[in-house]
Amino acid sequence: MTVEFIEIARYPYILIVALLLVGLYGMTVKRNLLKKVIGMTIFQTSIYLLFIQGATKQGATIPVLDPALGNEDPTLYMNPLPQVIVLTALVVGVAITAVALSLLVLLYRRYGTLDEVELLRRMKEQAS
Amino acid sequence: MSQIPALIPTSLLLFALVSLLVGLRSARGAQLLAVAGMLFAFGVSALGLREVAFGGDTLRYAVGNWLPPIGIEFVFDSLAAYMTTLLTFTGAVVTVYAPKALAAETDGRQGMVYPSMLLVLAGLTGMCVTGDIFNLYVFLEVAALAAYALLALGERGAPVATLRYLLFGAVGGGFYLLGVAYLYFAAGTLNMAELATLLPELQESRAVIVAAVLMVLGLAIKMALFPMHFWLPDVYTNTASVPAALIAPIMTKVSAYAIIRLWLDVFPPGFFTEGVPIAAAIGWFSAAGILYGSVLAIAQHDYRRMLAYSSVGQLGYIGLGIGLANPIAMVGALLHIVNHAFMKGLLFMVGGVIKLRTGRTRIPEFVGIGRAMPWTMVAFTIGALAMVGIPPTAGFFSKWYLLLGSAEAGAWVWFAVIVASSLLSAIYFFRVIEMIYRDPERDSAVKDREPVEADGAPVSMAVPIGIMAGGIMVAGIFNVLIVRALLESVVAPLAGGG
């Protein structure tokens, strides 16, 4: 039974790695630039999930030292730092996505397509 | 607790905000504020530099008065002082240079460019002063985001190139963050000084090894270390002159700095050289990058593209200094960060002047520029000679330290690479020098080409170029002073068999 328990505990990590690979696949293989940006977002999300998953604890509670709330045992606290990190990293991620999307808007207005190959072809056409 | 470390990035952020508000009305006002902000940050850095170099104390600042290792700590030691002084100086010079080139190359709303320049500087100086590995990630992305906005300015190809850079950069940042996660779960802290005391016991741990590899890989993508340089040539070629002159000299170097910082101050001594051969890997990739960049630079006809490939090669020198893993080569790498910043800044600024006055960017069309703008071309020649590495320009000394380092390490292949690439860069720079001084009237080979008829550089551009050219000479002549006062203490950890 112990073996089974370890296996279950590892599932989230396997899923996170799968998600990371899905993101990288999207960024490298997809031809549509919007899909590349979506892939980038999935890639970043998997990293956030790793932080959250690493800090999860069964039966843990908020990290506030207050006997009135019944929290007196520090070992039961959920470590808040990874979640704060993710919160910060999320903001960074949102900003990156926003810049990427604004570049996409610019590109679509200029060339009328987001397909990478077609876009490069039209760029050459306009240049010559 | 000293205020200096915190004052540098925060003052730049504050100036960015104010210059954004002013920039809505007046581009001129925004530019003046940007220059003021960068000069202020430069002044603070220089003060700090003096204190660190001659007082010998590392300046520390605990953000929000949360003492480390719980809170975020800003650390201002010799290495950080060296970097921030360089960054703010380059930033100030480029900002002075900016208005004429921007007016010619962008349509309207130049007021928005200056806040972005300040934000790039805030991010980069933040990376240098922070003593917290996650905080470094945040500053890394602050700098990168502002840089994306700047680089998308320019010719028609600029947004596509920038989007590619953004995707690469996001993966690089992502890998770094992933490394931070592993390191945090292995050691339980994010503070660099605390990590340095904890990691020696953990260096056999697989999580720590994976963390080191991921962090260095992420930073190497951001640094455009060969073969992860693919985003760089397109970006530098297509962007406007001002972002190129700001980003090309300093942005990639700060990622190189971050690798050096991780190596010297976070991971245990010898970890990068013995445990996992990270240093050797960086060294070999750099050696390949030097040759690749130099050879492709020869093949380019576009001036800016040539500079971009030459950047790939020059970044290799810094990587090689990291790879050699002895104090003298590391001194060479650190010196090369400054020297290359001056040289590339100068060369991209000269490119901007040529484009402004003649509209030309292709080297074969540069015929006769030497007569049209003699002083600018003198500056260009100084920059080119420094890139080749001719004494007493600064470029000679960093290569000299690298050669000494590789001789000491017995790395004769890398020794040969450095010598060979000097010859290659001589080829591609003398090609340009030859072209600018050719006279179509007397030289039959270029008879059919139209010589340049143009004025010299305007004062606002000539002065920054002159300062950069002076910087190359000064950094060359006073290199011993820089090494003695600052860098020897930085590389001291390597001397002990590391």
> What are B26-51's pLDDT values in tens digits?
889 999 999 999 999 999 999 999 88
In chain B, what are the domain boundaries? 271-498
Would the CB atoms of A27 and B141 count as touching at under 8 Å?
no
Name every residue in A having a CB less than 8 A away from some CB of B: 24, 27, 33, 36-37, 40, 43-44, 47, 50-51, 54, 81-82, 85, 88-89, 92, 95-96, 99-100, 103-104, 106-107, 110, 119-120, 123, 126-127
pLDDT average, residue stretch B424-451: 79
* Contacts with B347 (C-beta within 8 Å, 6 or more apart), sequence order: B307, B380, B383, B384, B387
Q: What is the DSSP string of B10-76?
A: HHHHHHHHHHHHHHTT-HHHHHHHHHHHHHHHHHHHHHHHHIIIII-PPEEEEGGG--TTTS-EEEE
Picking from B167, B182, B194, B234 by the largest number of A CB atoms within 10 A of its own CB, the best residue to mutate is: B167
Which residue reads 């956030």 in tokens? A48
Calculate what percentage of chain B has a pLDDT beyond 90: 60
- Residue B368 DSSP symbol: T
Q: Could you tell me which residues are beta bridge partners of residue B382? A: none
pLDDT average, residue stretch B242-260: 93
Give the 3-state secondary structure of chain A.
Answer: CHHHHHHHHHHHHHHHHHHHHHHHHHHHHCCEHHHHHHHHHHHHHHHHHHHHHHHCCCCCECCCCEHHHCECCHHHECCCHHHHHHHHHHHHHHHHHHHHHHHHHHHHHHHCCCEHHHHHHHHHHHHC
User: Within the 112-131 window of chain B, which residues sit less than 8 Å (CB to CB) from chain A?
Assistant: none
Quote the Cα angle for B361-B367-B372, to 5°. Answer: 90
* Tokens coding B176: 């770094």
Which residue reads 């963390």 in tokens? B211
Residues of B in contact with A96 (CB under 8 A): 141, 144-145, 166, 170, 173
Q: Is the pLDDT of residue B350 over 70?
A: yes
Give CA torsion, residues B356, B357, B361, B362, to 10 deg: 180
Q: Is the pLDDT of residue B446 over 70?
A: no
ipTM of the complex: 0.91
The C-alpha atoms of residue A28 and residue A40 are separated, in whole angstroms, by 10
pLDDT along chain A (128 residues), means of 10: 58 92 94 95 95 83 74 76 92 95 93 89 83
Q: Which domains are delineated in chain A?
A: 2-57+78-127 (1.10.287.3510)
Picking from A47, A90, A105, A126 by the largest number of B CB atoms within 10 A of its own CB, the best residue to mutate is: A47
> What are A62-97's pLDDT values in tens digits?
777 777 766 677 777 788 889 899 999 999 999 999
B141 and chain A in contact, CB less than 8 A: yes
Q: What is the pLDDT of residue B183?
A: 93
A83 by Cβ neighbours in 10 Å (0-12 / 13-18 / 19+) ranks as middle
